[in-house]
């Protein structure tokens, strides 16, 4: 077996590549494990695109991202040569076992702390979740795999620069052709809900400025921001219903959703609606609360409407760059 000292290989084309049989083994172990304790030889990964998943059970963002990665893994595994190796940052074996039990892929044994620490150093892991994707030859395709999976899911496979460029062109065309229906209508889901679950067709919202409000009851900043958003919503609509808000929940159960939504004077996607995932990818939602402003023509006006409302309240409407210039000019005049 190769020595860990030879883990990094510099090819003649200048690309840094890694020998998996070197970086994933230790002198006393040439295998990885599954959550049923089965052992899988490291050499069996040869010819696969491999993701090194740095994560831990104590990490909230990891807990939220892992199910998305499981869905992508299960779908890719059916038709592609793809494998993931969990590199745990858990603090004890019990936590590792419980967290790993939810994962269908391989892992470095928790007992091998030396290899886990070395991998964190080799790939300069500064925060988790962190996903490094390597091609069949051990070349790093991207060290931003978490963002790639969140934004594109299985469509990003095989994670090459050419695929990323293709996806960017697709996204550009989508943005240019975006309408309210194109982002809020999916198959038979062509409505949002009001109070008591009343269905409101998305077509009824066309022509208005729409705020997509990504939030959750369990999130303290979300609860703190809600009264600010409600006050702005009320003032903006004093002279006519020109603004609508659609609550997109990250709540963990129907009861929490119902309790939080009952305080809001606007609309929502139903709890657990599958459109939430696509909207989160389209607008690159990395944290909540987040507010995206959609103009009357269905185009994205701002993905930072929360910050604008916090700074300017109702004066930020309609959240365009032109309006921000007007606000800045008025401040300069007052100064």
- The ranges assigned to domains in the chain are 4-169, 180-334
**Whole-angstrom Cα distance, residue 313 to residue 252?**
29
Residue ranges in the chain assigned as alpha helix (H)? 20-23, 60-77, 93-100, 113-122, 145-152, 161-177, 180-184, 220-236, 254-261, 275-282, 305-312, 321-334
Beta strands 209-215; 243-249: pairing state: parallel
- Does the pTM surpass 0.85? The reply is no
CA separation for the pair 75, 68 (Å, rounded): 11
Assess contact for 269 and 249: CB atoms under 8 A. yes
Q: What CATH number has the domain spanning 180-334? A: 3.40.30.10
- Please tell me what DSSP assigns to residue 197: G
- Could you check whether 4-169 and 180-334 share the same CATH topology? yes
Q: What does each of the 335 residues of the chain score in pLDDT, given as a tens digit? A: 444 444 554 443 446 789 888 899 888 899 999 999 999 999 999 999 999 999 999 999 999 899 999 999 999 988 788 999 999 999 999 999 999 999 999 999 999 999 999 999 999 999 999 999 999 999 999 999 999 998 888 999 999 999 999 998 988 888 889 999 999 998 779 999 998 889 999 999 999 999 999 999 999 999 999 999 999 999 999 978 789 999 999 998 999 999 999 999 999 999 999 899 889 888 988 889 999 999 999 999 999 999 999 999 999 999 999 999 999 888 888 87
Residue at token pair 């603004």: 243
Which candidate, 278, 217, 286, places its Cα nearest to that of 247? 217
Give, in words, the CATH class of 4-169. Answer: alpha beta
Give residue 267's Cα distance to chain centre: 23
CB atoms within 10 A of CB 83: 20
Tokens representing 189 are: 């889901």
């Amino acid at each position: 077996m190769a020595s860990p000292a030879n883990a990094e290989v510099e090819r003649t084309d200048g690309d840094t590549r890694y020998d998996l049989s070197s970086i994933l083994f230790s002198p006393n172990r040439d295998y990885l494990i599954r959550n049923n304790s089965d052992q899988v030889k490291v050499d069996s990964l040869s010819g696969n695109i491999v993701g090194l998943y740095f994560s831990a059970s104590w990490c909230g963002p990891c807990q939220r991202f892992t199910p998305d990665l499981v869905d992508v893994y299960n779908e890719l595994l059916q038709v592609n040569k793809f494998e993931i190796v969990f590199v745990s940052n858990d603090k004890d074996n019990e936590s590792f076992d419980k967290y790993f039990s939810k994962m269908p892929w391989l892992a470095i044994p928790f007992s091998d702390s030396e290899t886990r620490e070395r991998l964190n150093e080799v790939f300069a892991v500064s925060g988790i979740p962190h996903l490094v994707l390597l091609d069949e030859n051990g070349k790093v395709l991207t060290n931003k795999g978490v963002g790639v999976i969140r934004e594109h899911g299985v469509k990003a496979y095989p994670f090459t620069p050419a695929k990323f460029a293709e996806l960017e062109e697709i996204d550009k065309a989508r943005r240019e052709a975006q309408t309210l229906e194109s982002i809020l209508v999916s198959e038979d889901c062509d409505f949002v809900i009001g109070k008591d679950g009343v269905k409101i067709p998305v077509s009824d919202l066309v022509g208005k400025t729409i705020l997509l409000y990504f939030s959750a009851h369990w999130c303290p900043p979300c609860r703190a921001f809600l009264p600010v958003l409600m006050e702005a919503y009320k003032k903006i609509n004093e002279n006519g219903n020109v603004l609508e808000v659609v609550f997109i929940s990250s709540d963990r159960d129907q009861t929490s959703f119902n309790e939080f939504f009952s305080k809001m004077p606007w609309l929502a996607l139903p709890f657990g609606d599958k459109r939430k995932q696509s909207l989160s990818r389209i607008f690159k939602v990395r944290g909540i609360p987040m507010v995206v402003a959609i103009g009357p023509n269905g185009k994205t006006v701002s993905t930072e409407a929360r910050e604008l409302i916090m700074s300017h309240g109702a004066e930020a409407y309609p959240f365009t760059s032109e309006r921000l210039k007007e606000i800045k000019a008025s401040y300069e005049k007052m100064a």
